Amino acid sequence: MTRSAYLRRQKQMGRHLFGVFPAQYPREIFWAMNTVPVEIWDPPLTTANANGHLQPYICSVVRSGLELILQDKTRILDGFLFPHTCDSIQNLASIVNDYLGIEIPCCFFYHPKAPFGKGSRDYYLSQLKFLTAQLEKLFGPMDPDAFKRRVDQGLNMQERLAKAYEMRRLGGLAVSNTSFYRNIRLAEYLHPDDFISGFETFLAVSKGENPKGPGIILSGILPHLEILRLLDQQGVRVVDDDLLNCNRRMPLSAGRAQDPYEILVENYFAMPPCPTRGSPIQERIDFMMDKVRSTDVQGVIFCGIKFCEPEWFDVPQMVAAAKDAGLKTLLLDLEVNQPLSGQLATRVEAFVEMIS
């Protein structure tokens, strides 16, 4: 079933739909409000209208997200959420809320930036409650029991995702890179009831020895489908990642508190290091090097998005650390949905030759 068909079905089932821009937000609160958060990362569109609002030096994630709205493909949604991820998304929120004249309500979510103090936890908690209040205005009061249930479900989902990553790392998943990320990324729009059951099946049928081949780590914002396909063709295994829309949103430890809000607070502060949360660069390097040490990788591919400041400031330090560890590195400056050019393919193939 296509994403749009699935979303229409959710709507028919009486669920609300919320378009969510990248990257960090508490999806459990939406679930508890009988709402499906639908993440907007890389809609496959040709950009035309967004250029009238955005300069040429704005990244393709923001550009394609705006294009989706301008092409009137978000009419099915009951609202938008703009987490405070970067300067471009911050201002995009204002453009959409104030100037497009659309009638879909916008909500905003500010998450604190590191270094975190005691005030950061209190503030994050207040932001969670503020988000709930914003949604309650739209959809009515949240049922505390449903909230508790959905937070538990979130933990359950995290557990399964972590298990999938571990199986892949240990060579126990017989799936292509393309298939792995296609399944992981279903979490961007599936209702948890559907995701968890579907993912269980995926893990069960995929159990098996991973085909051998040189291993790499992917770093960056999101996996690029064409690059994944090329890596599959070349017999390269992605053994782990440091991608913003995948592993960098999976808490390193599960929240143990009793109160569901407190669990969400624990989850946020247990997320892997990320520039969008202000984490020190050394923590990012350590996070990547831990992955290197626990696997048999030969190289790292940095899949940057053109004009993405949070990512590109960190890259030189991460490249240096990877090289110091004897790894080969490849830097790709991509647009989302960018077709694979001959030059790009040659660069990836040359990299694969080096690590093979």
Partner 1 sequence: MSWVQRLSYNIMKDLGAPMVMGLAAKAKKKRPAPIHTPFGPRLKCAARLKEIMTRHYFLARYAKGAKPVAWVTSGAPVELLRAFDFYTIYPENHGALCGAQRLGPEYCGIAEDHGYHQDLCSYARIDLGHALSGKTPVGKLPRPDLLFASNNICQTVLYWYRVLAHRLKIPLLLFDTPYNFKDIRREDIHYMVDQLKEMIPVLEKVSGNKFKEDTFSEVIHSAKDASLCWGQILETMQQRPAPMTIFDAFVHLAPIVSLRGLPVALQYYETLLAELKERIDQGIGAIRDERKRLMWDNIAIWYKVRDFSNLFAERGMNFVTATYTNAWAETSAHMDVERPFESMARTYGQVILNNNLNHRLFLMERLIKDYQVDGLVIHSAKSCKPYSVGQYDLKRILMERLEIPSVVIEADITDFRAFSEEQTRTRLEAFFETLEASF
The least CB distance from residue 231 to partner 1, in Å, is: 23
Residues 264-323 that bind partner 1 (CB under 8 A): 275, 278, 280-282, 304, 306-307, 309-310, 312-317, 319-320
User: Min. distance of Cβ 47 from partner 1 in angstroms?
Assistant: 14
Comparing CB distances to partner 1, the nearer of 6 and 312 is: 312
Pick out residues in 79-138 that bind partner 1 (CB under 8 A): 82, 84, 86-88, 90-95, 97-99, 108, 110, 112-115, 117-120, 122-123, 126-127, 130
Q: Report H helices in the chain.
A: 3-12, 27-32, 60-70, 87-94, 118-139, 144-169, 177-184, 192-206, 225-233, 260-269, 281-293, 309-324, 342-355
Q: Scanning residues 320 to 349, which ones bind partner 1 (CB under 8 A)?
A: 320, 333
For partner 1, the closer of residues 119 and 326 by Cβ is: 119
Shortest CB 120 distance to partner 1, Å: 8
- Please state, in angstroms and rounded to a whole number, the distance separating the CA atoms of residues 138 and 144: 17
Q: Binding-site residue total for partner 1 (CB under 8 A)? A: 55
Q: CB 292 → partner 1: shortest distance, Å? A: 19
The answer to whether residues 271 and 25 touch, using CB atoms and an 8 Å cutoff, is no
The minimum distance between CB 66 and partner 1, in angstroms, equals 10
Q: Residues 6 or more apart from 9 whose CB is under 8 A from it?
A: 1
Which one-letter DSSP state was computed for residue 33?
T
Burial 59-70 (b: 16+ CB within 10 A, else e): bbbbbbbbbbbb
Q: Residue 259 CB, nearest distance to partner 1 (Å)?
A: 18
What secondary structure letter does DSSP report for 250?
S
Phi then psi dihedrals of residue 123, to 5 deg: -70, -45
Q: Which is nearer to partner 1, 104 or 146 (CB)?
A: 104
Q: In this chain, which of 52, 141, 326, 339 binds partner 1, going by CB under 8 A?
A: 52
- In the sheet that holds 237-243, the strands lie side by side as 237-243, 215-220, 297-305, 328-334
- Dist CA 154 CA 54 (whole Å): 35
Q: Which residues bind partner 1 (CB under 8 A)?
A: 52-58, 82, 84, 86-88, 90-95, 97-99, 108, 110, 112-115, 117-120, 122-123, 126-127, 130, 275, 278, 280-282, 304, 306-307, 309-310, 312-317, 319-320, 333
